[in-house]
Chains A and B, each alone.
Chain A
């Protein structure tokens, strides 16, 4: 079921919001003990809210114009601040933190009628690409419980994939929405940096964090962005650009659209099976009217290094506030990955090293942004694999942080440049989802959705459900 289906059904009275929410919780209770997607459930409040909405619908069926997400069950990544609902960021250090305010995006979703089902598991503080850096139980991939669901928004991805909710929100600093979307057969958007407010989202890397979300279909994803996007007076980095009606152009032809393939991405390290899946998908896009050509992003090789200097620098700064005085526990409670990033970031910002590391990386960032800008002079969008490999096994990379960092290699350049990236399903290999990333210039989300929609309608991968292998 999609958001569109639900709206129709609620209007017609096929089922009520309460029934929808109850169904949500029953699905979660059935699967989550094994999947560990949720850290906190909001059952009492959610049912109350659903009841209230059922009354509103009875009074006026046009309420959906005012509240476009009315009744939609949504899961929030646990670094989204929610008033009076425990918010942990996947960490033990603030394991009992009870915020006195809502994040702007949370407010917007609630005002649009969405029902908060619960807070989802994640790599603590967003530090990770697999979900294994959570301070709690590791989230499993519903397609194969021995495999990672991708991170850091691991719980949100898994929850949408197994049907617990319709929308799972996330943050994408280097990969964290697109990768779980790629590993779980979902549509995952990393919007343009500055498109969606960061106020109330527990900060990982302030100039990288993009507030995104995962859904099963492109339409649903576009519908949610219509609600979350927009300038926020509480966030100085949101851009006052008009919010498009992202669902409006879905279905329009992509004839003549130029798709670029950065040659630097199709090199060794990329699994052949993944590469083949992408190549097949490109053929489908050509059939739909697009043309494909090779482009170059010459500084790709350096993106990872720049990323792993700038991000830990900002992380070490953003985690300074956790001193246990106003909230949370003492700093010994930080997990190993958090400690590593604090150390790395303190080092790259420290006196004597700032120029060689932070400043240098910030200059390389300019070059990477320029690479993309130049590519977009020749093509409309870029397509690359979301991950160099299929979803890997739990425990496979966790002891080698550098290996783990390299899973982001196709994703993090997008965050350095501040541009949007959309994961859409490219296919299945050996039963595992393979994701394809569509990248566009700043504020081109409408274009990305257009391409993704036609592709999705053609391939219909969204209809496939996880089979809980090894579960």
Chain B
């Protein structure tokens, strides 16, 4: 990687919450709706006279996410109106949050270092535009089913320095959101939308001009890469952008501050909109929605619904079951699923089966139940009583081994286990045999 230019990347991620109803109305929240405009009402259609009423669960889930990202929670919060004109925005403004978001100052760890979370806020989604050519005319068709669905926005500081790190961050964010089960994050359906702000910092020139100051000045431009709907496209799109910007900078020019899209087929980014004039959203507090107090009591209620944090969970599983996080994390998404998984682990222990092997089998052989696992390893059904008879016999016939074990040669147990198995002429779970034999010694 070129040492002259350092990519500086910040990310904005939009996530559709899987609430049952809309952010400000009771319309069904159904990303799989089969027909257009079947889930609209005066509120989300922006009819004259309609008024919003806030969905409490959406607020709680936003705070939940903020807490899981290590954020501080604002005691007082509000909704603001963000004004711009676009056909998929029925009121001509989006109800969002401006200067008092629900959550701020969090952090996500990546293998390249921490990525600070600037804020997590709540807003409403827009309708969907479908582009078509009808009778020779290019038209846009609008479906308002999605209008008014609760949308959470997670914004990072420009703490990401490579496409690989961006991908890791995005994947981790998705993992956390899925763990909380507040969204399905279906990227193909637009349930999770990624945006990256990319610029290149001329490290060499900063170092020569800035000897005393340890802090780097951010580049004087940034390019927004929007509407990326896969992790792979994110990585590729950023890589393309870095190279494109490097070429421009090398030629002595500055890349234009603009919004670009990513074309997956050609693997290029392209201009969508020039931001010569930053949009003036004319934010002001939405007078239709009273402010929100997040009391100690309410915050504690929300905290109590948080599942065990990943760090704690993986650590515990590592210690107790010797499980590698990279492996076991492939077996579950939501906290509910992790609990069910742990139930299986406990069952394994009860049946003296190796959890580690079980997990391996689940990952590599795609099995799902303990029965399947047992079948697979040909573990035979032998009762403890039958085994005890055999063990007694073996111990009698091998007094030296018994004495060695009692003297401290712990590994002798393996020899004894092997002998029992040979005698039983059956495949028996190692741990189980070991425990049974130990109980005799």
Contacts and interface: CB of A to CB of B under 8 A. Distances in A.
Interface of A: 79, 81, 87, 89, 94, 97, 99-101, 103, 198-203, 205-207, 233-237, 313-314, 317, 319-323, 325-327, 346, 349-351, 354, 358
A265 B235 CA distance: 68
Given A237-B288, A320-B85, A326-B90, A101 B47 contact: yes
Contacts of B289: 236
B90 A200 contact: no
A199 B51 contact: yes
Contacts of B283: 349, 354
Given A207-B287, A236-B54, A351 B92 contact: no
Interface string B141-158: 010000000000000000
Contact of A103 (B49, B53, B85): B49
Contacts of A97: 48
Given A237-B51, A321-B92, 6 more contacts: A99-B49, A100-B47, A202-B49, A236-B51, A320-B92, A358-B284
B81 A317 contact: yes
Given A236-B289, A317-B93, A349-B284, A202 B53 contact: no
A236 B42 contact: no
B290 A321 contact: no
B91 interface: yes
The 7 closest A-B pairs by CB, nearest first: A320-B92, A207-B287, A349-B282, A206-B287, A200-B49, A202-B48, A81-B49
A326 B87 CA distance: 9
A296 B275 CA distance: 52
A320 B287 CA distance: 15
Contact of B287 (A199, A202, A314): A314
A237 B52 CA distance: 10
B280 interface: yes
17 contacts: A81-B49, A97-B48, A100-B47, A202-B48, A203-B48, A203-B49, A235-B51, A236-B51, A236-B52, A314-B287, A317-B282, A317-B284, A320-B85, A320-B93, A323-B85, A326-B45, A354-B284
Contact of A320 (B91, B280, B284): B91
Interface of B: 42, 45-54, 81, 83, 85, 87, 90-93, 142, 280, 282-284, 286-290
Nearest to A236: B53
A350 B53 CA distance: 26
A234 B83 contact: no
A41 to B, nearest CB: 21
Nearest to A320: B92
Nearest to B84: A320
B287 A350 contact: no
A249 to B, nearest CB: 31
Given A206-B287, A314-B287, A325-B87, A81 B48 contact: yes
A119 B280 CA distance: 38
A330 B394 CA distance: 95
A236 B280 contact: no
Given A317-B83, A346-B282, A87 B48 contact: yes
B208 to A, nearest CB: 36
A325 B142 contact: yes
Residue among A101, A323, A354 with most chain B CB within 10 A: A323
Nearest to A238: B51
A323 B45 CA distance: 12
Contacts of B53: 233-236
Contacts of B90: 321, 326
Contacts of A206: 286-288
A351 B51 contact: no
A143 B286 CA distance: 41
B49 A321 contact: no
A5 B288 CA distance: 39
A320 B83 contact: yes
